[in-house]
């Protein structure tokens, strides 16, 4: 592909940011492919917003470079970069009406006849009738769309979105997620989206980079991240994981471990490298992969499945599923989600049960990391708006 027609990839090489003795972003290399919807996911203070602001030029990196295609833009001020941002809480100019807000970028670049483009943009975000309103007269969702229109009208090579849906209520959020996805497909511009909401990142993005403590923990497609987390942080931050501490007994194409007296199998290619040496391993399995059987029916469970025995301590009916909390010798408070297809009336708190699942759904993680990293309530992880 040729340069300057559509821009090329966003490349960050060795980019870092320090404030005094605090390191907001550790040196990182990252390539965002052209035309993709890319999400930077993490809790508040993980460095994702700082990374975004360095791409925008609003923050000078302490070291490293930012490339758009083959062009080094590290030293360009934000107003000379072909990059636009949708700000957190929108930053619409309160003293201008909607069409003036949208035309702002075009006017600054000396374009005189902006009417047609502004009208088209208003149409794209379905706000044709609000052109002469002031920002404060619009609802949150409408303001959000104006912010998108104000950035997109400039046809940037990259659109940066800083928690664009953070201020919206849940229902509107879901709607705007689809809306943004539609717009991205329509205009074909690279979107880099910063969010703390894992569900948002997974529904919208082609690629997700999970950030923690100023570093990228893992990067990949949403399904890949979910199925094959490589750290406990990713395992816990994306959805819920049951993590069981286990001893390695046998290594090979399948790794065999013991936990709480029982044996479990983990596919060798789903374990981190360190495990092959033996010793300890964290065995992980997602709650929805587990089936629950009453202890009386233990005999009818097919061979070759991983099994853990335990006792139900809590159950809550969610509608599509029932969530159980099970205590077992292998680990306390294991989570199990059962589809509500045929409910077994015996599965109530206090009942003895067997948890069983296909060993292929098991993954193994390094044992020398915190079990709780990335869970709600663990240090540094809150699902609040990113303040940085």
Partner 1 sequence: MTWLRKNLVVIAGLLTLAYMILPNVVVMAFSFNKPNGRFNYSWQQFSLDAWKDPCGVADLCESLTLSLQLAAWATVGAVVLGTMIAFALVRYRFRARGAINSLIFLPMAMPEVVMAASLLTLFLNMGIELGFWTVLIAHIMFCLSFVVTAVKARVMSMDPRLEEAARDLYAGPAQTFLRVTLPIAAPGIAAGALLAFALSFDDFIITNFNAGSTVTFPMFVWGSAQRGTPVQINVIGTAMFVLAVLIVVAGQIITNRRKKTATA
Partner 2 sequence: MSTTLTKEAPGPVEEPVLRKPPARKRLVPYWLLLPGILWLVVFFALPLVYQASTSVQTGSLEEGFQVTWHFRTYVDAFAEYWPQLLRSLLYAGTATVLCLLLGYPLAYLIAFKAGRWRNLLLVLVIAPFFTSFLIRTLAWKTILADDSLVVDALGALHVLDVTSWLGFTEGERVLATPMAVVCGLTYNFLPFMILPLYTSLERIDGRLHEAAQDLYASPATTFRKVTFPLSMPGVVSGTLLTFIPASGDYVNAELLGSTDTKMIGNVIQSQFLRVLDYPTAAALSFILMAIVLFMVTVYIRKAGTEDLV
When the beta carbons of 200 and 217 are compared against partner 2, the nearer one is 217
**Closest alpha carbon to 164 in 188, 180, 185:** 180
Contact pattern from residue 200 through residue 229 relative to partner 2, giving x for each residue in contact according to CB under 8 A and a dash for the rest: -------x-x-----xxx-xx---------
Which one of partner 1, partner 2, none is in contact with 94 (Cβ closer than 5 to 8 A by kind)? Answer: partner 1
Q: Is residue 33 involved in binding partner 2 (CB under 8 A)?
A: yes
Q: Is residue 14 involved in binding partner 2 (CB under 8 A)?
A: yes
Which one of partner 2, partner 1, none is in contact with 230 (Cβ closer than 5 to 8 A by kind)? Answer: none
Which one of partner 2, partner 1, none is in contact with 279 (Cβ closer than 5 to 8 A by kind)? Answer: none
Q: Pinpoint the alpha helices (H) of the chain.
A: 48-56, 98-108, 115-124, 140-152, 170-187, 198-204, 222-227, 232-237
Beta-carbon contacts of 46 under 8 Å, excluding residues fewer than 6 positions away, are 211, 212, 213, 214, 380
Judged by CB under 8 A, the chain residues 44 through 63 that form the site for partner 2 are 60-63
When the beta carbons of 154 and 198 are compared against partner 1, the nearer one is 154
When the beta carbons of 106 and 209 are compared against partner 2, the nearer one is 209
Query: In this structure, what DSSP letter does residue 252 have?
Result: S
Least distance between partner 2 and beta carbon 161 (Å): 19
Least distance between partner 2 and beta carbon 270 (Å): 20
> What DSSP string describes 284-298?
EE-GGG-EEEEGGGG
Which one of partner 2, partner 1, none is in contact with 150 (Cβ closer than 5 to 8 A by kind)? Answer: partner 1
User: Any long-range contacts for 115-121 (C-beta under 8 Å, 24+ apart)?
Assistant: 117/153, 118/153, 121/149, 121/152, 121/153
**Cα separation values, 316 from 91, 97, 241, 341, Å:** 42, 49, 18, 15
Which one of partner 1, partner 2, none is in contact with 60 (Cβ closer than 5 to 8 A by kind)? Answer: partner 2
Element (H, E) at 263: strand 262-267
Which one of partner 2, partner 1, none is in contact with 275 (Cβ closer than 5 to 8 A by kind)? Answer: none
Binding site for partner 1 (CB under 8 A): 56-58, 77-80, 83-85, 87-89, 91-95, 104-105, 108-109, 133-134, 137, 150-151, 154
When the beta carbons of 93 and 317 are compared against partner 1, the nearer one is 93
Least distance between partner 2 and beta carbon 34 (Å): 7
Q: Is residue 188 involved in binding partner 2 (CB under 8 A)?
A: no
When the beta carbons of 53 and 173 are compared against partner 1, the nearer one is 53
Residue corresponding to tokens 């090329």: 8
Q: Is residue 265 involved in binding partner 2 (CB under 8 A)?
A: no
Rounded Cα distance, 210 and 231, in Å: 11
Rounded Cα distance, 255 and 363, in Å: 10
Which one of partner 1, partner 2, none is in contact with 16 (Cβ closer than 5 to 8 A by kind)? Answer: partner 2
Q: Are 4 and 53 in contact (CB under 8 A)?
A: no
Name 319's bridge partners.
none
Query: Which of 24, 30, 98, 114 is close enough to bind partner 2 by CB under 8 A?
Result: 30
When the beta carbons of 62 and 228 are compared against partner 2, the nearer one is 62
Rounded Cα distance, 14 and 72, in Å: 13
Q: How many CB atoms lie within 10 A of CB 101?
A: 24
Which one of partner 1, partner 2, none is in contact with 207 (Cβ closer than 5 to 8 A by kind)? Answer: partner 2
Which one of partner 2, partner 1, none is in contact with 31 (Cβ closer than 5 to 8 A by kind)? Answer: partner 2
**What phi and psi values does residue 337 have, to the nearest 5 degrees?**
-110, 120
**CA angle, residues 77, 82, 84, in degrees to nearest 5:** 85
Q: Is residue 31 involved in binding partner 2 (CB under 8 A)?
A: yes
Beta-carbon contacts of 139 under 8 Å, excluding residues fewer than 6 positions away, are none
Interacting residues toward partner 2 by CB under 8 A:
9, 13-14, 16, 18, 26-34, 60-64, 207, 209, 215-217, 219-220
């Amino acid at each position: 592909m040729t340069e300057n027609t559509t821009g090329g990839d966003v490349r960050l090489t060795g980019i870092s940011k320090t404030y005094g003795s605090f390191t907001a972003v550790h040196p990182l290399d990252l390539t965002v492919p052209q035309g993709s919807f890319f999400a930077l996911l993490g809790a508040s203070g993980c460095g994702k917003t700082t990374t975004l602001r360095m791409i925008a030029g609003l923050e000078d990196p302490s070291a490293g470079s930012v490339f758009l295609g083959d062009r080094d833009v590290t030293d360009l001020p934000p107003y000379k970069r072909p990059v636009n941002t949708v700000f957190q809480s929108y930053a619409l100019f309160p003293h201008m009406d909607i069409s003036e807000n949208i035309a702002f970028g075009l006017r600054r670049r000396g374009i005189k006849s902006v009417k047609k483009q502004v009208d088209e943009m208003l149409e794209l975000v379905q706000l044709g009738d609000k052109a002469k309103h002031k920002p404060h007269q619009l609802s949150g969702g409408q303001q959000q769309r104006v912010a998108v229109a104000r950035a997109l009208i400039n046809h940037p090579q990259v659109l940066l979105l800083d928690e664009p849906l953070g201020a919206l209520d849940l229902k509107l959020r879901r709607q705007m997620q689809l809306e943004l996805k539609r717009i991205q497909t329509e205009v074909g511009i690279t979107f880099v989206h910063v969010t703390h909401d894992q569900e948002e990142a997974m529904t919208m993005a082609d690629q997700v980079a999970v950030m923690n403590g100023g570093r990228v923990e893992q990067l990949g497609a949403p399904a890949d991240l979910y199925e094959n987390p490589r750290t406990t942080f990713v395992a816990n931050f994306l959805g819920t994981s049951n993590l069981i501490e286990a001893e390695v007994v046998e290594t090979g194409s399948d790794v065999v471990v013991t936990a709480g007296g029982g044996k479990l199998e983990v596919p060798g290619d789903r374990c981190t490298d360190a495990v092959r040496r033996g010793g300890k391993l964290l065995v992980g399995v997602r709650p929805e992969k587990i089936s629950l059987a009453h202890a009386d029916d233990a005999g009818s469970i097919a061979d070759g499945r991983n099994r853990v025995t335990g006792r139900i301590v809590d159950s809550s009916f969610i509608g599509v599923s029932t969530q159980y909390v099970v205590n077992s010798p292998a680990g306390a408070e294991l989570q199990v989600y059962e589809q509500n297809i045929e409910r077994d009336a015996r599965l109530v708190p206090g009942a003895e049960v067997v948890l069983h699942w296909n060993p292929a759904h098991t993954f193994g993680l390094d044992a020398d990391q915190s079990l709780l990293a990335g869970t709600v309530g663990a240090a540094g992880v809150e699902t609040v708006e990113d303040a940085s």
